[in-house]
Amino acid sequence: MRLLSAAIVLSLLAVTASAQTPLHNLSPAARTVRPVLQPPHLGPAPRLYTMQQRAFAVQRLLNLTTTPALGQPFSLNPSAPYIAGVGELDYGGADVWSGDVKSGTAGGMASFAASGPGWIGVLFNARAGQRYALDCRLMTYAAHLDYDVAPRMVNGTVPVGQDGHILVAVDKASTDQSVEVHLYPDTPVFWVFYGCDVSPF
Amino acid sequence: MRLFAAALVLSLTAASAGDFSPATSPARMDVNHAIAARVAPGLYTMQERAEALQRYLHLAFLPTLGQPITLTPAAPAVPGLAELDFHSANVNTGNLYITWMRAGGEAAILSLDPKPGSLDNGNMTIAIRARASQRYDFDCRALPSPKPLSYSVYPGNVSGTVQIGQDGHFLIAVDKVATDRTVTLFINQITPPFTRSSWFFYGCDISPF
């Protein structure tokens, strides 16, 4: 037990010659890096839509005369960014707070500095002949976000709602295929992402 | 139906041709090809992990490890218990788009030092709710790294460096805390001034011992 304690103390003091280097031996850059230990302080995350609210939102987005019947959605967020064989979230240039231990937000959050070209990618296996509605939650001062859909090479702009929701509709394809929808601002702006619900319709 | 098609066409043609497009950018394609070329480190068995910790701490006996918590980019959080956080990172959580990518995903963390003293280095943190009087072994997997990683443990601000092994594993031991509390492990790559490089992270198994 004493041996164990001694070894741990030694390792934590960073003086074990074989594996560790005292801080004063590090480069100036290494010494000046400040850890980011807490996420930016924000208000409460946007609330999830009910199925009914989401259907109304899709109806408004597409100017439909009837409320669409949405299928069961799958949800992706920073805490649960991957569903095997179904979908995943990818991030570019992100600060990702994956859980609630640090962010205090169930589902986590991803923030993007105004200085960088950060983006979110929502990938999913789209079934042939099926449309999809992406209902995503975020906080930003931007009035809208740009999006593109790969590999279909389509793109556009969607408004950010007052309630922090944006919706993107993905049209149907003739065969099953993996689809990646990217979201990103076209102006330098800080933004925070909370998750997406993807519904077939 | 016509309304739907009209609205969709309208929205899909709204952007100008010169807009930034992450999906088709050369940088993204480079990243995808590079991901495909990398081979992620394999997991340790419990026995291998215990032996690695024994070597790391120069113990006279094999430590007994408790049940680990596993965090990966694809499963980065255990609610109320542990999470991975990434900063200035590109994170691919799964294997849909890059179909040959390994399970568990991959985080590419850019170490960038545009000028000495700047704070632009990408880094990651691992936060756990540590139990009082419990030590923790962090067995993490990453590629590549000719350069060492530096780490700090909070609270306590205990710092050190660690080298990723030939097998893609690096270990960090965190000493016990007096009361149950959140412990944060901060990790970044040591980058000489005016240089940039990336390192690639695949996950950690965190075992009490």
pLDDT in tens, A145-198: 999 998 777 899 999 999 999 999 999 988 998 899 999 998 888 899 999 999
Domains contained in chain A, number:
2
Query: What's chain A look like in SS3?
Result: CHHHHHHHHHHHCCCCCCCCCCHHHCCHHHHHCCCCCCCCCCCCCCCCCCHHHHHHHHHHHHCCCCCCCCCCCEEEECCECEECCCEEEEEEEEEEECCHHHHCCCCCEEEECCCCCCEEEEEEEECCCCCEEEEEEEEECCCEEEEEEECCCEEEEEECCCCCEEEEEECCCCCCEEEEEEEECCCCCCEEEEEEEEEEC
Query: Could you tell me if residue B89 is inside a domain?
Result: yes
| Confidence at residue A87, expressed as pLDDT on a 0 to 100 scale | 92
Q: CATH no. for residue B139?
A: 2.60.120.260
Domain assignment present for B87? yes
Is A42 inside a domain boundary? Answer: no
C-beta separation of B61 from B54 below 8 A: yes
Check whether residue A68 and residue A15 sit in a common domain: no
Do A84 and A166 belong together in one domain?
yes
- pLDDT attached to residue A28: 42
A71 and A151, same domain (yes or no)? yes
* Nearest-5° Cα angle at B172, B198 to A16: 105
B 119-178 residues with CB < 8 A to A? 119, 121, 123, 125, 127-129, 135, 148, 150, 152-154, 156, 158-163, 173-175
User: Residue A134 carries which side chain, given as an amino acid letter?
Assistant: L
One domain for residues A27 and A99: no
Residue B155 lies in a domain: yes
Q: Residue B51 has which token pair?
A: 């032996």
Q: Which of B87, B147, B179 is nearest to A116 (CA)?
A: B87
Q: Domain range for residue A11?
A: 2-32
On whether both A80 and A25 belong to a single domain, the answer is: no
Report d(CA B101, CA A122) in Å as an integer: 17
The predicted structure's pLDDT at residue A5? 45
User: A172 near A131, Cβ under 8 Å?
Assistant: yes
Asked whether the whole model's pTM tops 0.90, one would answer no
- A94 and A190 inside one domain: yes
Q: Please check whether residues A6 and A68 belong to one and the same domain.
A: no
B11 located within any domain: no
* Count of domains forming chain B: 1
Write out chain B residues lying below 8 Å of A79, CB-based: 76-77, 79, 83
Share of chain A above pLDDT 90, in %: 51
Indicate yes or no: CB of A87 within 8 angstroms of CB of B96.
yes
Task: Indicate whether B172 belongs to any domain.
Answer: yes
* Residue A186 and residue A108 share a domain: yes
With respect to residue B157, please indicate whether it lies within any of the assigned structural domains: yes
Domain co-membership, A72 together with A149: yes
Is the separation of the CB atoms in A73 and A198 below 8 Å?
yes
- CA gap A131, B8 in Å, rounded: 11
Query: Which residues constitute the domain of residue B129?
Result: 43-208
- Confidence at residue A43, expressed as pLDDT on a 0 to 100 scale: 75
List of chain B residues with pLDDT < 50: 1-21, 99-100, 117-119
Among B1, B3, B4, B72, which would you mutate to test the A interface (most chain A Cβ atoms within 10 Å of its Cβ)? B4
Q: Are residues A144 and A95 located together in one domain of the fold?
A: yes
B67 to chain A nearest CA, in Å? 20
A20 and A57 in a single domain? The answer is no
